Amino acid sequence: MSDTKRLVTGWVAMLGVAFAVAACGPVSRSTPATANGQEHMPAPASIWITSEPAVTTKSVQVELTSPQDPTFHRTHTFQAGDVLRGSIPVSSGHYRLVGLGGTCALDVFLGPKRETDVVIGLGVDGVCAFTVVREHGEEVFHDGPEVLID
């Protein structure tokens, strides 16, 4: 074999090894958005729900759905005589609260790292209405017994 042929064969072999090593090395799949450490997950949010009157005289079912996710559905039924107090931890986004099987409903946007306080007014005639009382951060703490609706 001639020196030139040996030299070319050697270079081809080294290139083959270099490509093989490069193919086995770590692959970076970062994009400009992730390369600088930005996270794109929705932040936590929650709903604090109470009722007026505070103690229910009949069973009250409360449901939470999401227009963006048809599979998302949370529900809880407060029994007659219960104090209606609940916390619904979710991610920030758009949601729909439904009470008493659809008698009342409220579309609400939950901001990131915020809690939205909602009161469900329970009329004697079986009618209900949701009212947003306030939106706040961690500076407000609700104490007392509550139902975690998750």
Q: What is the pLDDT of residue 144?
A: 75
- Which is it for strands 104-110 and 93-99: parallel, antiparallel or unpaired? antiparallel
* Tokens encoding 60: 């009250």
Q: Which residue has the tokens 């050697």?
A: 10
pLDDT tens digits along 8-19: 455 444 544 444
Position 28 pLDDT exceeds 70: no
Peptide bond into 53 cis (omega under 30): yes
Question: What rounded mean pLDDT belongs to the chain?
Answer: 82
In the chain the domains, ranked by start, together with CATH numbers, are 3-35 (no CATH), 44-148 (2.60.40.4150)
* Tokens encoding 10: 């050697």
Residue in 53, 47, 55 with CA at minimum distance from that of residue 117 = 47
Kindly state the average pLDDT of the residues 130-149: 90
Model confidence, pTM: 0.71
